[in-house]
Amino acid sequence: MQAHDFKEIIIRRSTLEDSESFQRCLDTVARERKWLTLLEAPNLEEVRTFIPKLSVQFVAITQGTVVGWCDISIPRKRDGFCHCGVLGMGLLPEFRRRGLGERLLRATIDAAHANGLSRIELEVYASNHAAIRLYERLGFAHEGRRRQARILDGQVEDNLCMALVLAGQDPPYGPASFSCRLAQNAASS
């Protein structure tokens, strides 16, 4: 697929109808063996189960095909941690370094904030300089380094731990409590 005029790319919330196209996009990025912890995408049934459990996921679509995604999951569905989400994102190679990742990230952060999340965490390989610059530009702070977190194909990689704390939220009294209940209900169904 060729990178098209970026005005033709639509950023929107994902739906279950995006599952197959999202899986192909995820698989392409995973098989690069550079950016994600996954080395291949889960099977389609797992993807269909995963999407509804996310707090929020946006996709970039052109000509009916998912070319990128950004999502936030709530992995710790326990009292005291429901305000925290974990970010994941990726773009097909020909759509990188054109501002699309920033558009996806901004839409996802805005939706997460509206859903009551006040902390968004991520891990990024230290060699992924473009992603690190993007996260820093959008306000993510460095919180730590996991040394030699991955050894793959003879390459040793550190993981950088980063987080964005959204101002003006009071999770115990605000929408985050509701967001956690939604996540718990989705996980149990």
Per-residue pLDDT tens listing for the chain (189 residues): 455 555 689 999 999 999 999 999 999 999 999 999 999 999 999 999 888 888 899 999 999 999 999 999 987 677 788 888 999 999 999 999 999 999 999 999 999 988 888 899 999 999 999 999 999 999 999 999 999 999 999 999 999 999 999 866 433 333 433 344 444 434 443
Question: What total number of domains does the chain contain?
Answer: 1
**Burial label, 96 (beta-carbon count in 10 A; 0-12, 13-18, 19+):** middle
Determine, yes or no, domain membership for 163.
yes
The whole-number pLDDT of residue 81 equals 81
The closest alpha carbon to 100, from 2, 1, 7, belongs to 7
Contact in structure between 21 and 65 (CB atoms under 8 Å): yes
Contacts of 17 (CB under 8 A, 6+ apart): none
**Burial label, 70 (beta-carbon count in 10 A; 0-12, 13-18, 19+):** buried
Q: Kindly name the residue from 40, 45, 46, 123 that is annotated as catalytic.
A: 123
Determine, yes or no, domain membership for 115.
yes
* pTM, two decimal places: 0.84
Determine, yes or no, domain membership for 97.
yes
Q: Kindly name the residue from 40, 125, 135, 136 that is annotated as catalytic.
A: 135
Domain range enclosing 89: 6-188
- Alpha helix stretches (DSSP H) within 33-172: 44-53, 100-114, 129-137
**Residue 125 known to be catalytic:** no
The whole-number pLDDT of residue 31 equals 97
**Residue 135 known to be catalytic:** yes
Domain of 178: which CATH number? Answer: 3.40.630.30
Determine, yes or no, domain membership for 1.
no
